[in-house]
Amino acid sequence: MRKIKILTLILSVSLLLNSCGEYARTVGKGSMTERYKLAVKKYEAKEYAKALRLFELITPSYRGKPQMERIQFMVAQSNFNEKNYATAAYYFDRFTNNYPNSSKKEEAAFLSAYSYKLASPASSLDQTDTNKAIVAFQMFINTYPDSERLAEANNHYRELQFKLETKAFEIGKTYYKTAQTDFRNYKSAIVAFDNLINDYLGTKLKEEALYFRFKAFHDLVIVSTERKKPNRIKDAKAAYDKLVRNFPESKFLKDSDKLLLEIKNEEKQLVKS
């Protein structure tokens, strides 16, 4: 039994060394045909990093040839599997443009959008890839309305859209928080919340955005001079009305009523003065 285990280990090591030797030899001195065959072999064996190195070597020689369609798809898929998502999206895009009649065009279009989504960072960071993913998924949905992946594409689209809504909401909250040290940011917060509500009409964040918008108007009243208070009190009341009109049973209503009372007290003080 022990001899069998030793022989198995020796055979495994031998095969590994031969495989490594074959790869190094083909990369260094192999013909383009040998490199192509080994690239496909490595791809099928899920050794994507090695496959990519070989594809890189053979691509110039295969441009314009029938094999290039397969090569370009495998390059895109290899980058995807290696989690090089931005690069994968680029190559899937190229594939759909270069091979509009390919049987893999639909798959490539979906994976392009999905790669952009996976490359998309947290909502607090730059959302360039998020926007690219949204555009790509929208194009996929429009182009392939009968696709088996349609429901999945719609789910991805909604998730990406919500990420942008979250980004817009966090911008408003950041302005609101920093207004405690620079009251001019109350106006910036109000504009940011207005942009969120207007740009994303069905957003789930609308109630909370309207609440913080009202809070910003309220706080702006408190820090205002007597000359500016009358108009700002009017704006704050309108902001309260908008919140209650849209969400009459809002979870923020109790706190908003307290803030409204403070605004009315400010108004009474103005009348007395």
Identify whether residues 93 and 2 lie together within a single domain: yes
Query: What is the distance in angstroms between the CA of the first residue and the CA of the last residue of the chain?
Result: 102
Judge whether 135 lies within some domain: no
Range of the domain at 208: 164-273
In the structure, what pLDDT confidence band is assigned to residue 29 with cuts at 50, 70 and 90?
confident
Give the model confidence (pLDDT) of 89-130 as tens digits: 999 999 999 999 999 999 999 999 999 999 998 888 889 999
CB contact at 8 A, 130 and 118: no
For every residue of 127-187, DSSP letters joined together read: -HHHHHHHHHHHHHHHH-TT-TTHHHHHHHHHHHHHHHHHHHHHHHHHHHHHTTT-TTHHH
What pLDDT is attached to residue 9? Answer: 46
- Are the CB atoms for 34 and 26 separated by under 8 Å? yes
Question: DSSP class of residue 72?
Answer: H
pLDDT digits (tens, 9 = 90+) for 153-198: 999 999 999 999 999 999 999 999 999 889 899 999 999 999 999 9
Q: Indicate if 104 and 196 belong to the same structural domain.
A: no
Strand, helix or coil at 84?
coil
Residue 209: CB atoms within 10 A of its CB come to 24
Residue after which a domain boundary falls, among 44, 77, 109: 109
CB 213 within 8 A of CB 225: no
Residue 269 lies in a domain: yes
Q: Is residue 220 part of a domain?
A: yes
Same domain, 197 and 270: yes
Q: How far apart are CA 233 and CA 189, in angstroms?
A: 17
Does a structural domain hold residue 138? no
Under 8 Å between Cβ of 227 and 200 = no
Burial class (CB within 10 angstroms; exposed 0-12, middle 13-18, buried 19+) of 38: buried
Q: Is residue 70 part of a domain?
A: yes
The model's pTM: 0.82
Mean pLDDT, residues 10-39: 70
Question: What is the distance between the alpha carbons of residues 273 and 271, in angstroms, rounded to a whole number?
Answer: 5
Give, to the nearest 10 degrees, the angle between helix 48-62 and helix 32-44. 150
Helix (H) or strand (E) holding 223: helix 206-223
Task: Name the domain count of the chain.
Answer: 2
Nearest-CA neighbor of 48 among 84, 19, 13?
A: 84
Question: What whole-number distance in Å separates Cα of residue 217 and Cα of residue 226?
Answer: 15
Residues 198 and 95 in one domain: no
- Is 140 domain-assigned? no
Place of tokens 């923020």: 252
Q: What is the CATH number of the domain that holds 211?
A: 1.25.40.10
What distance in Å separates the CA atoms of residue 214 and residue 244, rounded to the nearest whole number?
A: 11
